[in-house]
């Protein structure tokens, strides 16, 4: 969702837009409706992302969730501060490339962690099944 929004922002807004008002035109004529739609996509994507992150943090670190959430929020705040620093200095295209690369890396990392957690859960379930005692005698034998 974020990558679609980044592309729409790229074609809707000129590269000089972060520096102030501009008369430049991007690939299409700027549309306030498209800009609002991009805002919706970013908000919706952020809500989905945060829901999944909170779920995986709560599931993987259930015994120490306070520290996990604090570390996540600290890292998120550092990234936001870095974005505020470079946003007034970089062209919109540079900002969008940085966001797209980091969003892709974040998604790949999330998928890797999620799959590893599912594999651990599957292995634990199989181990629990293997540890169950077998019924004594042959269950199919009728006396």
Question: Residue for token digits 């609002």?
Answer: 36
Beta carbons within 8 Å of 31's beta carbon, 6+ residues apart: 12
Spans of all domains in the chain: 2-116
Question: Residue for token digits 């540079």?
Answer: 94
CA distance 120 to 7: 37
pTM of the model: 0.74
pLDDT for residue 135: 58
pLDDT for residue 47: 94
The alpha carbon of residue 44 and the mean position of all alpha carbons in its chain are separated, in whole angstroms, by 12
User: Which SS3 state, helix, strand or coil, does residue 119 take?
Assistant: helix
CA distance 106 to 108: 5
Per-residue pLDDT of the chain (143 residues; tens, 9 = 90+): 999 999 999 998 888 877 878 888 788 888 899 999 999 999 999 999 889 888 888 888 888 889 999 999 999 999 999 999 988 888 989 999 999 999 999 999 989 988 998 888 888 888 777 666 655 555 555 55
């Amino acid at each position: 969702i974020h990558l679609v929004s980044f592309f729409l922002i790229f074609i809707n807004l000129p590269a000089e837009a972060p520096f102030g008002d501009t008369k430049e035109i991007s690939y299409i004529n700027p549309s306030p409706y498209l800009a609002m739609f991009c805002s919706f996509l970013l908000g919706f994507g952020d809500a989905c992302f945060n829901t999944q992150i909170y779920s995986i943090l709560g599931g993987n670190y259930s015994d120490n969730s306070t520290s996990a959430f604090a570390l996540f929020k600290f890292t998120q705040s550092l990234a936001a501060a870095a974005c505020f620093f470079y946003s007034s200095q970089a062209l919109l295209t540079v900002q969008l490339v940085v966001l797209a690369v980091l969003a892709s890396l974040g998604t790949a990392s999330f998928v890797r962690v999620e799959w590893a957690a599912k594999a651990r859960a599957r292995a634990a379930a199989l181990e629990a099944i293997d540890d169950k005692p077998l019924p004594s005698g042959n269950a199919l034998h009728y006396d």
